Amino acid sequence: MTVNERRWLAGAWKWRTLGVSMTYRTNMSMEIPEEGAETQNSIKSIIRRKKELERDTMRAAQLEQERLIANERPQSLANGDDGRRAIMKQRVQEIRSELGKLSTEQAEIEKGVQLKYMTKQREFEYKSRQDEKKELEELQRRQDLEMKELLEEHALARKADEAKCQERIKEIRRISGEKRKALGMGTEEGEIDDGTGSDNSKKTVLESDRKKEELKTITAEINELNKTKSSLVWLLKQVITVEKKAELKAKTAEENL
């Protein structure tokens, strides 16, 4: 039974009681003139008891109504709390939904930024490889050119030494032939060695050995130079890579801001 139904029943009981009382009093008032004093006293007593009963009935109905209202108030408050809880629950769900949307948007933004960064990183790595390739090709070209120049210089020096040796041999043979002719021992060059030619020949051999040692030394220096250049090339590549990565990172940070 609802609160309104209970209140309606209490009101109906009240008006029903009042209606019975008023009907009884009307009927009694019409009979009073026909009765004696004793009958009137009895009637008054009855009326008084009826009034007391009416008051008691009305008081009981009022108390019952107050009790019903008192019992329904906590329920109303509870219903109000339930309503507030439902509203709060709905609000929490809405907030969670908004947070979910924000999280999705944030994930999409982060994914876009990451994709953009990865694209730039791939472009940077490709460009770095191309630059490194060009630098290595340039260094290799310079190294080959230097090696070629050194070998040419070495070949020219060797030819010059060989030419000097040939000139020296011819000079020795000429001097030897002149000595043989002066002594009447023939005109063939170089058949007699008076010691001077032998010494000159030894000097020529020593000079050739010295040139060979110099060639070995130069070759060793060239090999060492190649190793040093390779190390420098590697270090240069590392420095270029670090600088370009730092530049790309700074540029990406500025674009994100």
* Both tokens assigned to 132: 């490194």
Neighbouring C-beta atoms of residue 131, cutoff 10 Å: 14
Angle between helices 3-31 and 37-183 (to 10 degrees): 170
Residues 27-38 pLDDT 10s: 444 444 444 555
C-alpha 246/C-alpha 234 separation (Å) is 19
Q: Is the pLDDT of residue 3 over 70?
A: no
Q: Is the pLDDT of residue 15 over 60?
A: no
Q: Is the pLDDT of residue 208 over 80?
A: no
Residues 56-109 pLDDT 10s: 767 776 776 677 666 655 555 555 556 667 777 777 787 778 777 877 887 888
